[in-house]
Amino acid sequence: MRVINVIEIENNGVKGIESFGVFEEQFSQDVVREAEEAFYAKAIKNGFKENRNDIAEYIENGYWENDIYCVMIVWSDI
């Protein structure tokens, strides 16, 4: 099974981890979309002010950060 983890770091410490399991390949796009929405919501809540379309670049890079906060999106296997 694959897992998408949305990890929040604040002041150099882990603030939270939200995980999304991909159980069946046919539903993977739904899970990816849900994880990306969580990433976007957390970034907005913590200061992301750019256009919503710009978030795709940060998701592709795996993170968005400002001076005290970072949100990451990371794939893993179990």
pTM of the model: 0.90
| Model pLDDT, residue 28 | 87
Kindly report each contact of residues 11-18 with a partner whose C-beta sits within 8 Å and lies 24 or more positions away, as own/partner.
11/68, 15/69
Does position 2 have pLDDT exceeding 70, yes or no?
Answer: yes
| Model pLDDT, residue 51 | 79
| Tens of pLDDT, residues 39-48 | 999 999 999 9
| Tens of pLDDT, residues 55-64 | 999 999 999 9
21 closest CA partner among 36, 1, 40:
1
Three-state DSSP class for residue 52: helix
| Tens of pLDDT, residues 12-40 | 999 999 999 998 776 789 999 999 999 99
